[in-house]
Structure 1
Amino acid sequence: MKWNAILYGLLFSGLGAFSYLLLVNYTELSAHVADVLYSKGAFVFFVAAFNVLGYSTLRISSWMNDQYALNIRKRWKIVVIYAIVMLLLLLLNYSLLVVAKMLVGMDDPLIFPNGGWRILLVVWLVELVILGLLLANRSIQNTLKLQQEAAALQKENNTARYTALQNQLNPHFLFNSLNTLIAEIEYNPDNAVRFTKNLSSVYRYVLQSQDKTLVSLGEELEFLDSYLFLHKVRLGDCISCVCDIPADLTEAMLPPLTLQLLVENVIKHNTITSARPMKIDIFVQEDRLVVSNPVQPRKSRESSGIGLKNLSNRCKLMLGEEIRALHEKEMFIVKVPLLV
């Protein structure tokens, strides 16, 4: 900021000196007027006036960008204010010559014969070009800065949103699993070892997936085996899953913990007993992963839809498509987009 202020000061001082010399030397003024203008006081005044006008223009430009740049209906005010600044610049050049003629008592101080008006306009146009380039450069810098800030904010926002969406493993799952493990240790120690290994695999996968935006379908299916084993032990082997996935599609990508959410959704919202077992079918159809199950709703359980909405948001963020949830002929079907 300090160096920018110094550079702007040098630019405005140079522009003032340039305009002063052109006006004094090429407007064919009389000897009396020339004597008034050829002085240190007039030169310093002209340079100082250009610095005041230049810095004022920069402040006005910054203020206008903050106030009206994003407001399309008020952008006409920017044009009006810049037009006023342009007229002030012309008036500054004109007033210097008028004041000089008035100081020496010349008649018709407002008139400049012998091509004086042409020089005045040429100087004014050169000043406009230089100031225009300066303002354009500042505008480009501001635009690039805004784009960088917007990109950083968007990245931060996406990361925060994705982290929030991804951290959705049911907190009751660990509590239920530990209770089941205690019972297995007491009544079936061998199965308790298997249960512990699968529980470890589940949480290892959850931790590993935190740093990933997409995983392969093969990884999700491998995780599902461990996840379902824990539920089968807890529910009494009343839940089964049939996967029909072609080998060439196991490398298709999808958000991590997708299958965990869908299976948990089935368990949470359906009655699952030995009398009413649950069968989940998983297959691929038209580049979408399809998970279907018969509807056996719990009487006292109402679905909030938050889990599926979160999954849909994750797919929208990572794959550009939302999921499709359908309720057809007592079957609940969810279709998840895949990156093939």
Structure 2
Amino acid sequence: MILMEPRNQTSASEFNLLGLAEKPGQETLLFTLFFCMYVITTVGNLLIILAISSDSQLHTPMYFFLANLSLVDFCLATDTVPKMLVSIQTGSKSISYPACLTQMYFFHFFGIMDSVLIAVMAYDRFVAICHPLHYTTIMSPRVCGLLVGIPWTFSCFISVTHILLMARLAFCGSNEVPHYFCDLTPLLRLSCTDTTVNKIFVLIVAGMVIATPFLCILASYVRIIVAVMKIPSGNSRKKAFSTCSSHLSVVALFYGTTIGVYLCPSSVRTAVKEKASAVMYTAVTPMLNPFIYSLRNRDLKGALRKIVNRKVSSLS
């Protein structure tokens, strides 16, 4: 029986994030692209939060959930994109083991929150359309607080568990991660110890925070479609569907990529596909969400216009 050297039994002190660039010449283009995307993400989501908090007409459950989603999207992008930009700018791809676990914790924390909040917003639309007379009673401030507060606690617990399971692993071989941030799947491939428990927990969590919310969203929209089709007025049906179109766009963007990464069999996944999907839900979706919601929402556009007008007036 061949024994490994003692030095190979310890965890790596750092990892090298290989990033997205396949060739050195691509790094300048990637830096420019992701820097612009991050600036748009930051400005767009913070403007959404500012508009909702400053306009009393938007102090409703739907906009309360939207403000929380914007905060989570901003934090999710901030956890991954700036590190990649710094790595490109400095040429240093290394990340320490504690920093890697920290990034992984916040990535899963905000990713879980994103998934659950999207489902909560679907439930909000279901109550508004299917039970309009009881909407204010069902979606009371206390209920809204619980629908947001419980996922924050749940996300924290799940993310801590991921990190504790990851911390027990040893990394004996290569420390090169074929990704631009620390995620579970590529790191598990580098471990030289048994990762069965980690993989089982990943599947369980994926079922709870991706598959279950997605099925709840589908069930909500089936009920919504049935209720809307019973409305006699064509204009009323169109208005009801328009209130859901923005949310459906976000559902398609988010779940279309996360399901492919965390629920598809590993035999059909590749590093390129995983990175492409990760770009979608860590950079593209947080950037597009403010546009999806604001361009289709008259009240939100009005609140944003007031902020811009006040700013212009103060400057002039």
TM-score interval, normalised by the smaller of the two chains: under 0.3
**TM-score, reference length from structure 1:** 0.23
Q: Which has the larger radius of gyration?
A: 1
**TM-score, reference length from structure 2:** 0.24
